[in-house]
Amino acid sequence: MENFRRRPRIGARQTMDIMNAPSRGKGGGTPSIRQRARLDGLRTNGRRLDDFQRPDGYHATQPLGSKQLQPLGKQTVPGQQRAAQAAQQQASLLNMTLPGGALDDKKQAKRRKQKDKSKLSKWRSVRKWTLRSAVAVFALVLLTGGFLAAKGYLKVHKVFKGGGTAAALQADVKPELLKGEGDGRINILLLGKGGGNHDGPDLTDTILVASIDPVNKNASLVSLPRDLWVTPGGGSAGKINAVYANAKYHALYLNAQDKGGAEKAGIKAIEDMTTQVLGIPINYYMMVDFQAFKQAVDAVGGVDLVVPENLAVSEHLWDETTGKNYYLNVPAGPQHFDGTRALFFSRSRHTSARGDFDRTERQRIFIEALSQKILSAGTYTNPVKISQLMSAFGDHISTDFSVKDALRLMNIAKGIGSDKVISVGLADPPNVLVRTDTVGSASVVRPMAGFGDYSQIQSYIRNTLKDPYISKENAGILILNGTATGGLATTKSDQLKSYGYNVLAIGDAPTETYTTTAIVDMTNGKKPFTKNYLEKRFGVKATTKLPDATIQTQSADFVIILGQDETANSKN
């Protein structure tokens, strides 16, 4: 027995047989297998790993080997025979041999086999319950996720009704799909109105165009003054912020039951007017009221913004939602905006030095910051925040984006950093293109060129929002006048430059007898987007051979020889 007493402590054994570690029995002796299983909550049929009454989480356990086997001579349990049997069972399970009771090799192998079967049974039990638990948790996730998905589906499709289109949203755009210069961008008309019980609920006091370049990964925010005096097609002259409302109300007057048709009529009117002023196509629109704006800002946890010194305002504003005056005080420097503060910061104009011009500048800056916050990883990957945004937008937003187009646009926008977004205003120095004026007793805004003359504005916007494919290919163009009409090449050169074309030079063709304009592709198809745009602009197919061998191309990629057909289109 001396050797048994001197056996070392049993260390933490690297097996699955954790449940077989020695421990004290009720009477202080070594318990049997059945006793220890009962103490540990393990039923002998192997169906349970635990009684599941312990608290969740990790719990400290005593290391295996922290207790020694007690010598048989010191057993206090009555009945030496029972103690000897228990010790012998324990020793056999630990692959030990008791003095005076050694097992032969055959019996040891048999007991070892029985032990392996017991361990396998327990492992199967553990695995069985683990799988059952995993299936239960997975089912719970599916049920919860299914509920959120169904809820989100209804909200998303309530917002994104579809109807708009943009060829540039496609991942692999073919040149022939682009109708003309500027079609390579995605232009979204952003409209903000009061809604609800606000005064003039359908006046679009916020009118911006978000123009996205999906090729070169940049974007621009262009704002239109709400007091710009315009004359929409088929309507009477007035401020641009009333174009949507007037067209909508007129449609309701004709058919009060067709509210959807009236909404479409109002949107079409403001889209057409925006295109007329800026000279760019509108692919999509998004109308948001004050409530949606406030909730969107709050849903993303507010927006942080560095306010320039010239944007600081301090005034009392009437809050229609509370029926109280709201005191707005926004000093220059880093500022945090919740929904209410953001709304009044974007709406205020009375104490600004330039009035509505400063207000539109604040709107562009804030919309840029809000869009970056929405597109941040902490928002668009957070289902709770997305659900909150959808809840905010559901009843307070109108758009012709489809879900597919919206997801595609989000993937594009995620690649556009804040340093790739520029703010464009029509009254921002040095490009001051509009000014204040009066019509009767009303204070209005008009183009510097005069009421209704948007030529300077269009040239500036087109050149600022260059078509990405024209910019990327940067084809050199030579323009030659093949007619007797003086100044025709200069006129066409100015037009092409306003769209972002790289006009290398202008001049006269060897003769003035060209009746039809000719386009010569000196690259032999290597710059297909520029070729496509030029063909559609001049209405002719490009060739690869010069009509006159004496023409000096000056290393141009395209040579355009103007014919008599262009004299009637010199202003287009």
The total number of structural domains in the chain stands at: 3
- Bridge partners, residue 210, by sequence: 188, 221
Q: Are residues 189 and 62 in the same domain?
A: no
Q: Are residues 489 and 532 in the same domain?
A: yes
**Does any domain span residue 550?**
yes
Tally: H helices and E strands in the chain: 16, 20
Q: Are residues 220 and 274 in the same domain?
A: yes
**Does any domain span residue 484?**
yes
Nearest Cα to Cα of residue 467 among 490, 496, 505, 491 = 496
Nearest Cα to Cα of residue 493 among 508, 482, 503, 483 = 503
Give, in order, the Cα–Cα distances in Å from 530 to each of 167, 321, 475, 493, 496: 16, 52, 7, 15, 11
Q: Are residues 278 and 250 in the same domain?
A: yes
Q: Are residues 371 and 257 in the same domain?
A: yes
DSSP code of 415? Answer: T
Q: Are residues 352 and 272 in the same domain?
A: yes
**Does any domain span residue 9?**
yes
**Does any domain span residue 189?**
yes
**Does any domain span residue 281?**
yes
- pLDDT tens per residue, range 83-130: 555 555 554 544 444 444 444 555 566 666 665 555 555 545 544 444
Q: How far apart are CA 143 and CA 188, in angstroms?
A: 37
What was the pLDDT predicted at 159? 66
Give, in order, the Cα–Cα distances in Å from 163 to each of 135, 262, 285, 402, 404: 42, 16, 10, 7, 12
- Is residue 187 exposed (0-12), middle (13-18) or buried (19+ Cβ within 10 Å)? buried
What was the pLDDT predicted at 373? 77
Q: Are residues 494 and 371 in the same domain?
A: no
Indicate the pTM of the whole model: 0.66
**Does any domain span residue 133?**
no
Residue 282 sits in a domain whose CATH number is 3.40.630.190
First to last CA, the chain: 112
Give the domain range for residue 538. Answer: 474-569
Which of 430, 460, 490 represents a domain boundary (last residue)?
460
Q: Are residues 400 and 541 in the same domain?
A: no
- Residues with Cβ < 8 Å from 356, sequence gap 6 or more? 225, 226, 227, 349, 445
The average confidence (pLDDT) of the chain is 76
Structure tokens at 175: 């040149």
Query: Which ranges of 376-512 would DSSP assign to H, the alpha helix?
Result: 377-380, 383-394, 403-414, 455-464, 468-473, 488-498
pLDDT of the chain, 572 residues: tens digit per residue: 444 444 444 444 444 443 444 444 444 454 554 454 444 444 444 444 444 333 322 234 444 444 444 443 444 444 555 555 555 555 454 444 444 444 455 556 666 666 555 555 554 554 444 445 555 544 544 444 444 444 454 555 666 778 889 999 988 899 999 999 999 999 999 998 877 666 778 899 889 899 999 999 999 989 899 999 999 987 789 999 999 999 999 999 999 999 889 999 999 999 999 999 999 999 999 888 887 788 778 878 888 988 876 565 566 677 766 777 778 788 888 889 988 888 888 877 665 666 667 777 777 778 778 877 776 655 555 656 666 666 656 567 788 988 888 888 888 887 888 788 888 989 888 999 999 999 999 999 999 999 999 999 999 999 899 999 999 999 999 999 999 999 999 999 999 999 999 999 999 999 999 999 999 999 999 999 999 999 999 999 999 999 999 999 989 999 999 999 998 776 55
Q: Are residues 418 and 524 in the same domain?
A: no
What was the pLDDT predicted at 114? 62
- pLDDT tens per residue, range 236-269: 899 999 999 999 999 999 999 998 899 999 999 9
Which of 460, 488, 509 represents a domain boundary (last residue)?
460
Phi and psi dihedrals of 20, rounded to 5?
-100, 10
What was the pLDDT predicted at 341? 87
**Does any domain span residue 95?**
yes
Helices 356-375, 339-347: axis angle to 10 degrees equals 150
What was the pLDDT predicted at 519? 98
- Residues with Cβ < 8 Å from 59, sequence gap 6 or more? none
Give, in order, the Cα–Cα distances in Å from 363 to each of 127, 190, 367: 59, 11, 6
**Does any domain span residue 224?**
yes
Q: Are residues 333 and 433 in the same domain?
A: yes
Q: Are residues 69 and 193 in the same domain?
A: no
Q: Are residues 271 and 314 in the same domain?
A: yes
